Amino acid sequence: MNNIMIWIFAIVIIGGGWFVFSNQGETETAFEKKGDVVMQESETKSEENAMEEKKTEVMKEVGSYELYSAEKFANATTGDVVLFFRASWCPTCRGVDADIRAHLGNIPPTLTILDIDYDTSASLKQKYGVTYQHTFVQVDAEGNLIKKWQGSPTLATLISEVK
């Protein structure tokens, strides 16, 4: 019986290690990757900023999906702001991110979705009581919590949750 338990334990440890190491180096989005080489963080950030500026210019009649910044809470004075706490290693987060990006034109004009890196946003996680990646938090213009939920698998379900 002890030998069986040892083998099960060994298989779980090896399998967990394989999962962790096989997912290292995956990036959040396709535009952060060039071929098989992941770009340096500074290149990624400058490219993300250029993408955000371009999206802002194009999306005057639809809502937006943008990288988080505290100044963007002000968008809640004329509409809704939802914070999306996601992790690059989280498969469900990647799925929602891909669905949102595939349906940017379906974001209501009054909705701003702010993308927040779950792994590097300790103060925001603490402020809103976020303990799990793939969490959504609707806030007002001052950044006060209106509603918090988890598990919207698509943009459509995320929109349906907004008060």
CATH value at residue 102: 3.40.30.10
Give the residue among 66, 95, 92 at the shortest CA–CA distance from 81.
66
Domain membership of residue 98 as a residue range? 30-161
Residue with tokens 């535009």: 31
pTM exceeding the 0.85 threshold for the entire prediction: no
User: Is residue 143 a part of any domain in this protein?
Assistant: yes
Does the pLDDT at position 123 exceed 50? yes
User: Is residue 55 a part of any domain in this protein?
Assistant: yes
- Per-residue pLDDT tens for 34-55? 333 333 444 545 565 555 555 4
User: Is residue 128 a part of any domain in this protein?
Assistant: yes
Can you tell me the mean pLDDT for 7-20?
53
User: Is residue 149 a part of any domain in this protein?
Assistant: yes
Beta strands in the chain (DSSP E): 33-34, 37-38, 64-67, 80-86, 111-117, 135-139, 145-150
Number of domains in the chain: 1
User: Is residue 19 a part of any domain in this protein?
Assistant: no
User: Is residue 117 a part of any domain in this protein?
Assistant: yes
What integer pLDDT is reported at residue 99 of this predicted model? Answer: 96
User: Is residue 20 a part of any domain in this protein?
Assistant: no
User: Is residue 53 a part of any domain in this protein?
Assistant: yes
